[in-house]
Amino acid sequence: MLITMNKRSFMLGTAATLAAPAAMAASCRPALDGRSGRLDWQAYLGEHFELDDGQGARASVRLARISAAPARRGCEQFSLVFETPQGERAVPTGLYRLEHADGHATALYMSEGLRADFNLLHSARA
């Protein structure tokens, strides 16, 4: 049996097949909040965000690196390092709203070099 397909049908089917994994991955991303750990942020590595200082200044940034630091049992220490598309890494130290295109957002305290440091205590699990 010979199956024929026109070019348009082929392209639409191919596009849907290629887009599906990206859409599924985006829907599986963890919410960004004060409890987000290093592994949660790992899902956003290389992704672009909007950084808002709450006073009208906005910048587009990319999560460039996640650095883990040694920590005691029950703690997690890591840093997020962001960059602008121009490669700049300078914003005034302060509190910023960080929002991803998927709608997930959180407030981060950014230090010089577009770095946010985390020191999280994890509750004991039974």
pLDDT in tens, 100-110: 988 889 999 99
Separation of alpha carbons 94 and 106, rounded Å: 14
Phi then psi dihedrals of residue 62, to 5 deg: -125, 135
23 confidence band (pLDDT: 50, 70, 90): very low
User: Which residues lie closer than 8 Å to 106 by C-beta, 6 or more apart?
Assistant: 32, 33, 34, 36, 97, 98
Query: Where are the chain's structural domains?
Result: 31-121
Give 116's Cβ-side CA count (13 Å radius): 25
The residue ranking higher by pLDDT, 54 or 13, is 54
The single-letter code of the amino acid at 51 is L
Q: Is the pLDDT of residue 25 over 70?
A: no
On whether the CB atoms of residues 80 and 63 are closer than 8 A, the answer is yes
Looking at this protein, which amino acid is placed at residue 111? S
pTM here? 0.69
Is residue 62 within 8 A of residue 49, CB to CB? The reply is yes
Asked if residue 71 lies in contact with residue 78, where contact means CB atoms within 8 angstroms, the answer is no
H or E segment and range at residue 121: strand 115-121
pLDDT mean across residues, the chain: 77
